[in-house]
Structure 1
């Protein structure tokens, strides 16, 4: 799942980013509201974790503009202020949840899962293509009803491809989404990770679900009707 995290306090930002990544989230991070608003309006996220008191465009202003422009991505407000008026203002502007500092990352993760379930419904959290089923909440993958053990990176890559069967993704797109924008673009980690996923699926289903597109990248095969 893709998270946009907007927070200007470095220690909190590093702590939360590390915790979310350990839980398998792909995290884009901004330390100010202007960059956060740009990312929120130019990329697709499953949830935005947004500190109210950030430099530039503040969190409430970002939320207000997102909702006015029709962006319905779930938003969790994060702030040191715990006054009732602040909570009500955020919720009235369209926030899906509110969490006050200090907090445990485990609580934030639980709230993220909750708002995503409410926003998209359980059906969209279960990706099913052919013999493969991937649960985005429990992070379980099965093939022909047999469980497949995937690493966090393998799961995120498979989810990324399964969300758009038939669409071709370049290696650069996969790197940016699964590994992050600051990863070395000349690495072969995408190919290695694809090979590992295939080796885990092949004994359970001989169908080549992840197809190589020569000179371009990869796509997840559309099932035959």
Structure 2
């Protein structure tokens, strides 16, 4: 699962953006000041850091400088109300991957995240099509690097359905019919629970949430 460090001190922006990222299956850690951001970077590894510049204690640019010196493989997006050329140049000189000016659309930020992660994974020569992840229709199981993912039957059938038509977006009712036929009569939110559990077991973010519709298999795994 893709891990994102999100540094933002405005509560409304933090809450809304965090929810959008989580709906896309990202594992998000939120902090509201630069000191906490650096502490989290010392404790854990992240694929991407989204950094507001004007935050308490230590600025986002200083956190970016720490990443540039200590976490060279991590992708970064600067998120700020400062749109002046000098600030942007300073961020890019510190090798940020992108720069988003407030106010912004959470949906557009998600697209920026996808683009930055795609470039980052490509530069690291990570080939998601050859990572030895596959499902076996005979054993009703998924495997990664030779190890079973320990999928339940419902999780396997859900994953199998999405993988067979990767360009199709399935709504919850369609997925219920594929998994349970007509035997299931309770809430369609059971699909959300299965997706949540699957995301914990899969090696990459293969299940994409299409907001307002349902779910789709994401071959790129980001």
Q: TM-score category by the smaller chain?
A: 0.5 to 0.7
Task: Give the match's secondary structure for 2:132.
Answer: strand
Show the counterpart of 2:3. Answer: 2
Cα drift, residue 72 of structure 1: 2.0
Cα drift, residue 129 of structure 1: 2.6
Cα drift, residue 141 of structure 1: 4.8
Pairs aligned (count): 156
Show the counterpart of 2:59. Answer: 58
Task: Give the match's secondary structure for 1:72.
Answer: coil
Change (3 A) 1:147 1:133: farther
Structure 1 residue runs of 4+, over 6 Å off? none
Show the counterpart of 1:153. Answer: 196
Change (3 A) 1:142 1:71: farther
Deviation per CA, 1:6-64: give whole Å up to 9, x if none: 00111111111111112222211001100111112321212111101111111111111
Q: TM-score, normalised by structure 2?
A: 0.62
Deviation per CA, 1:86-115: give whole Å up to 9, x if none: 111101101010000000011111111111
Structure 1: any 5+ residue segments left out of the alignment?
A: 135-139, 164-225
Change (3 A) 1:17 1:128: same
13-22 or 95-104, which moves further after superposition? 13-22
Show the counterpart of 1:91. Answer: 92
Which protein, 1 or 2, shows the higher relative CO under an 8 Å CA cutoff with sep ≥ 6?
A: 2
Change (3 A) 1:133 1:36: same
Q: TM-score, normalised by structure 1?
A: 0.61
